């Protein structure tokens, strides 16, 4: 029987890509990082897409990718931090998959992304302020989208093990 997709949802820095790769290996599924998928299609980085074409353009590419990947099977998908705040993307992924929210605090995100320069939405002087503001808007949407919620403030192996036991 074909395996339903597993979609990892959560804020930037919650570990979606690391955990996604590990989880896919453990479960014998294929791993796709949504941002890398879009970058490959566009042949430029997320930062350049935002800079040259704007956020709305990126969101459109993200929507198209969600529809395409949502139709496939046997995938572990690391979504972008904004992907599942859009109802249509949630719908596209829900059809054939389960959504796992990696839960983390704004403070932990700020610490993890202290030296990161690849997230255009956090390229501001007050990073923690920007994170907190986005968190407030996004958390209820993430929680609404999620089938299960896992504490991401553990080792990747522990997070993986918890996802596997809860998805059974
Ligand atoms: C975004 C998160 C990023 C990337 C883009 C926008 C967001 O993905 O899709 O920079 O809106 O939170 P990660 O969560 O993988 O960093």
DSSP secondary structure string for all residues of 26-59: HHT-EEEEHHHHHHHHHTS-HHHHHHHH-HHHHH
pTM, entire model: 0.96
From the CB of 131, is ligand 1 less than 6 Å away? no
**C-beta separation of 46 from 120 below 8 A:** yes
**Token digits for 142?**
């993430």
In the block, which residue shows the tokens 């839960």? 103
Superfamily (CATH) of domain 5-167: P-loop containing nucleotide triphosphate hydrolases (3.40.50.300)
pLDDT at 1 over 70: no
Residue 139, both tokens = 């958390």
Number of the ligand 1 atom closest to the C-alpha atom of 85: 11
pLDDT in tens, 121-144: 999 999 999 999 999 999 999 999
Q: Residue 118 Cα, ligand 1 centroid: separation in angstroms?
A: 9
Residue 147 DSSP SS3? coil
Is 130 touching ligand 1 by the criterion CB < 6 Å? Answer: no
């Amino acid at each position: 029987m074909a395996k339903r997709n597993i979609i990892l949802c959560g804020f930037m820095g919650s570990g979606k890509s690391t955990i996604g790769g590990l989880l896919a290996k453990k479960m014998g599924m294929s791993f796709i990082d949504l941002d890398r998928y879009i970058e490959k299609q566009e042949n430029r980085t997320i930062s350049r897409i935002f800079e040259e074409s704007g956020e709305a353009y990126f969101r459109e590419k993200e929507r198209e990718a969600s529809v395409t990947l949502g139709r496939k099977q046997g995938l572990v998908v690391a979504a972008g931090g904004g992907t599942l705040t859009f109802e249509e993307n949630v719908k596209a992924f829900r059809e054939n998959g389960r959504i796992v929210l990696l839960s983390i605090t704004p403070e932990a995100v700020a610490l993890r992304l202290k030296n990161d320069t690849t997230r255009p939405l956090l390229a501001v002087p007050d990073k923690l302020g920007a994170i907190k503001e986005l968190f407030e808007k996004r958390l209820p949407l993430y929680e609404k989208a999620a089938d299960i919620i896992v504490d991401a403030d553990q080792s990747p192996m522990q997070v993986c093990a918890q996802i596997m036991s809860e998805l059974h």
